[in-house]
Chain A
Amino acid sequence: MKCLVTGGNVKVLGKAVHSLSRIGDELYLEPLEDGLSLRTVNSSRSAYACFLFAPLFFQLYQAATPGQDPLRCKILMKSFLSVFRSLVMLEKTVEKCCISLNGRSSLLVVQLHCKYGVRKTHNLSFQDCESLQAVFDPASCPHMLRAPAKVLGEAILPFPLALAEVTLGIGHGHRVILRSYQEEEADSTVKAMVTEMSIGEEDFQQLQAQEGVAITFCLKEFRGLLSFAESANLSLSIHFDAPGRPAIFTITDSLLDAHFVLATLSEPSPNSQDLRSPELCRQAPQLQAHSTPHLDDFANDDIDSYMIAMETTVGSEGSRTLPSISLSPGLQPPCNSGPHSEEEDEAEPSTVPGTPPPKKFRSLFFGSILAPAHSPQGPSPVLAEDSEGEG
């Protein structure tokens, strides 16, 4: 694989990597016929992000050398981000960026051709992996809204940077409401300030949702995509469904596509009084992926000298599955079309054993695309063993 990015697009690529770094710790790079895809998923599998750069984005794009199968690789986000760390520097000094992946060597080479004949070469170790793909379909979501990134950027301005979650809904008069979501802690004496932003329908290019629908999602992750959209001056679409179903945020342009899929808070069953009821779980098809060592191991190692074993998974036997959390579909009550000031998503989803603690969101639907042609012939020598651990 070889691709060449020039001019202003280098900064766009850099910004995309910055956005992705807000989500996950590993970057899945896959050259496709449609373009170069950069994907990531967060550790609790509640957020997925994908950038697809069309061949026209590049001055030169070669998905795979003829005769060779296209490679997929997984790199540490930190390593890849370090190449594009300073956006200012990218804009001012970098003239060309060349990314090449050579199957024979185990290195992803990113070369920055800068002014004054300076050339910076980064050799990043990678690991072969399966394609990371989330199963989602924006068309299947009944509600959507689309607005210029600037409008949405101004909409989240009143919210503090530290705010984790926000609720987006449609209120009276078809106004779009964003409200800070605070997890209620029964024993806290100090209540938090609640901020609400209400925007008129006319600021949106498209609004297809009824009054009363609302979803709650992670604001921090959304900010990642929003900052990219603002810098590229593009419109952002939000496709959503009932609470609990993932919300899909998309940016579309002639040269690139971006999709962020974020889990949303699910409502408690109206019948269950006990919010900690263990029945509140969700079915999540597992992400059959990688044989990577546990994510935490990366953090302890020196990234530059980290040599990951060239492992590939063997179907489902060797794969690590997510802790499966099953939710009976009936537990998603339809949204009540109450007045906008009423907050539907008040209750705290229960903590189910096995759920990653930091996030109370449930896993998204992830499918696994395992192209048969790429299953390895035999088990390769394992240089770093899988460690047990949660997904």
Chain B
Amino acid sequence: MKFRAKIVDAACLNHFTRVSSMVAKLAKACTLRISPRRLNFILADKVANGGVSMWCELEQENFFNEFQMEGVSAENNAIYLELTSENLSRALKTAQNARTLKIKLTNKHFPCLTVSIELLSVSNSSRIVTHDIPVKVIPRKLWKDLQEPTVPDCDVSIYLPVLKTMKSVVERMKNISNHLIIEANRNGDLNLKIESELVCVTTHFKDLGNPPFASEDASQDRNPAHMVEVHVDIRKFLQFLSGQQVNPTKAICTTHLPRHPCPLAVPDEGSLPGSSKAGFLLATEITRNGPLSDSCQADAQPPVSTAEEEEGPECT
């Protein structure tokens, strides 16, 4: 197994750093999947316990000047590593003024991802920072749990408003209730609602637009103005919103009923060529007196949906 890669461009480095910070905010441990064309950050099987699970994909040629990898074997040309996400995030943050950043898989008493940063210095001297991040190689038999989630049918798919706005709204709502009700329809309306004994607060977002493909799957006879509603744990949702450091050009939320609905967002950095995408899966809950429009079964497996992302504008 071999892996070595190099980043030279400051904007790419910045973006990569922000993606890793986002991952670090969501979970302590994450899986890094290295394949010939892609790099993936995977947070899996968190949904069963509530929380956020995530699949993030980066096209390696958009970030790295050099990228060489050799997987476990020729047929299974991938490397799956488990590491503490904060370590990678912290290592990358020291590369603020870096001339080059190199990452490679090494073995220094134990398997490590070595991040080697050459810093720009005022004088001509070079300064080199090296971080050895301990990793655990995930055996092939566990790979099947870490695959890209499939796109199931969804009921509603909607573009989210600016995440920062949503975050400030939800931030204030968390003091009133533990559950957030997200309602969306195919007319581009989104509501964020909380209910308590004394008060019910709703924030309405209109004219958000719906991604075109979503409407094909769902039943045609559904009234576009019909609101589909899901309940999520407000803190987990906030955790997901707080982790967003990459400004998405489009973030999409899809909900599914009758089984456990799950919202999902797909951030993308608009200023980089090509696309990177990330999908998030949030567990939702069925409240005892939740007025869900369709019958909900207490099913264990929440379906997931991802959404393709369009190309952002070219990097100047």
Interface residues, chain A, with chain B CB atoms under 8 Å away: 154-155, 157-158, 160, 190-200, 202-203
Scoring B residues 99 to 111 as 1 if CB is less than 8 Å from chain A, else 0, what string do you get? Answer: 0000000000010
Query: Chain B: which residue is nearest A178 at the CB level?
Result: B129
Q: A195 and B131 in contact (CB under 8 A), knowing A158-B94, A160-B90, A202-B123? A: yes
A193 touching B127, Cβ below 8 Å: no
Q: Is B23 an interface residue (CB 8 A)?
A: no
Q: Which residues of chain B have C-beta atoms less than 8 A from A196's C-beta?
A: 129-132
Show the binding face of B for A, using Cβ within 8 Å: 84, 87, 90-91, 94, 110, 121, 123-134
- Which residues from B are CB-within-8-Å of A192? 134
Q: Tally A-B pairs: CB < 8 A.
A: 52
> Which of B90, B125, B127 counts the most chain A CB atoms within 10 A?
B127
Nearest A residue to B97 by beta-carbon distance? Answer: A154
Q: With the chains together, A304 CA to B121 CA distance in Å?
A: 49
Distance in angstroms from B13 CB to nearest chain A CB is: 15
Tell me whether A200 and B133 are in contact (CB under 8 A): no
Q: Give Cα A200 to B127, complex, Å.
A: 7
Shortest B117–chain A CB gap in Å is: 8
- Nearest CB on A from B37, distance (A): 28
CB-contact partner of B129 in A190, A191, A197, under 8 A? A197
A148 CB to closest chain B CB (Å) equals 11
A191 touching B134 by the CB < 8 A rule? yes
B132–A194 touching, CB < 8 Å: yes
Q: How far is the CA of A225 from the CA of B124 in the complex (A)?
A: 27
Whether A193 lies near B133 (C-beta < 8 A) is yes
Chain B residues near A190: list those with CB within 8 A.
84, 134
Q: Are A197 and B123 in contact (CB under 8 A)?
A: no
With both beta carbons as reference points, the residue of chain A lying nearest to B93 in the complex is identified as A158
Given contacts A193-B132, A195-B130, contact A203 B125 (CB under 8 A): yes
* Interface residues of chain A: helix, strand, loop or mixed (majority): mixed
What are 10 of the A-B contact pairs (CB < 8 Å)?
A154-B127, A193-B91, A194-B132, A195-B132, A196-B129, A196-B132, A198-B128, A198-B130, A200-B125, A203-B127
Inter-subunit contact A194/B125 (CB<8 Å): no
**Beta-carbon contact of A200 and B126 below 8 Å:** yes
Interface contact B125-A199, CB-CB below 8 Å: yes
Q: Please indicate the chain B residues that have their CB under 8 angstroms from the CB of A199 in the complex.
A: 125, 127
Which residues from B are CB-within-8-Å of A193?
A: 84, 87, 90-91, 131-134
Closest CB in chain A relative to B99 CB, distance in Å: 14
Known contacts A193-B132, A193-B133; is A198 also within 8 Å of B90 by CB? no
Supplied contacts A193-B134, A200-B127, 4 more A-B pairs, CB within 8 Å: A191-B134, A195-B132, A197-B128, A203-B123
A200 to B87 CA separation, bound complex (whole angstroms)? 26
Nearest-CB distance from A320 to chain B (Å)? 43
Residues of A within 8 A of B129 (CB): 158, 195-198
Chain A residue nearest to B111 in the complex (CB): A191
For the complex formed, measure the closest distance between the CB of A324 and the CB atoms of chain B, giving whole angstroms.
Answer: 37
Instruction: Give complex CA distance A190, B124 in Å.
Output: 38
Bound Cα distance A191, B132 (Å): 10
Q: Are A202 and B132 in contact (CB under 8 A)?
A: no
Q: How far is the CA of A157 from the CA of B94 in the complex (A)?
A: 8
Distance between Cα atoms of A203 and B91 in the complex (Å)? 23
A173 to chain B, nearest CB (A): 11
The minimal Cβ–Cβ distance linking B114 to chain A, given in whole angstroms, is 9
Which A residues are in CB contact (< 8 Å) with B121? Answer: 203
Q: Which residues of A contact B87 (CB under 8 A)?
A: 193
B134 to chain A: which residues have CB within 8 Å?
190-193
Residues of chain B lying within 8 A (CB to CB) of residue A200: 125-127
Residues of chain A lying within 8 A (CB to CB) of residue B110: 191
Residues of A within 8 A of B125 (CB): 199-200, 202-203
CB <8 Å contact, B133 and A202: no
Q: Nearest A residue to B128 by beta-carbon distance?
A: A198
Which residues of the partner chain A approach B90 to less than 8 Å between Cβ atoms? 160, 193
In the assembly, what is the distance between CA of A157 and CA of B132, in Å? 16
Chain A residues contacting B133 (CB-CB under 8 Å) are 193
CB-CB under 8 A from B132, the residues of chain A are 193-196
CA distance A91 to B120 in the complex (A): 33
Q: What are the 6 closest A-B residue pairs judged by CB atoms, nearest first?
A: A200-B125, A191-B134, A158-B94, A194-B132, A196-B130, A198-B128
Q: How far is the CB of B41 from chain A (nearest CB, A)?
A: 17
Contact residues in B for A160 (Cβ distance below 8 Å)? 90
Closest B residue to A193 using CB positions? B87
Neighbouring A residues of B123 by C-beta, 8 Å: 202-203
- CB-CB < 8 A to A155: which residues of B? 127
Choose from A191, A194, A195, A197 the contact partner of B127 (Cβ within 8 Å).
Answer: A197
Looking across the interface, which residue of chain A has its beta carbon closest to that of B116?
A: A196
Report A88 CB to chain B, min CB distance, Å.
Answer: 26
Q: Which residues from chain A contact B128 at a C-beta distance below 8 Å? A: 197-198
Please report the C-alpha to C-alpha distance between residue A203 and residue B134 in the assembled complex, in whole angstroms.
31
Looking at the complex, which one of B91, B124, B130 makes contact with A202 (CB distance below 8 Å)?
A: B124
**How far is it, in angstroms, between the C-alpha of A193 and the C-alpha of B115 when the chains are bound?**
11
| Distance (whole angstroms) from the CB of A149 to the closest CB of chain B | 15
Measured between beta carbons, the chain A residues less than 8 angstroms from B126 are: 200
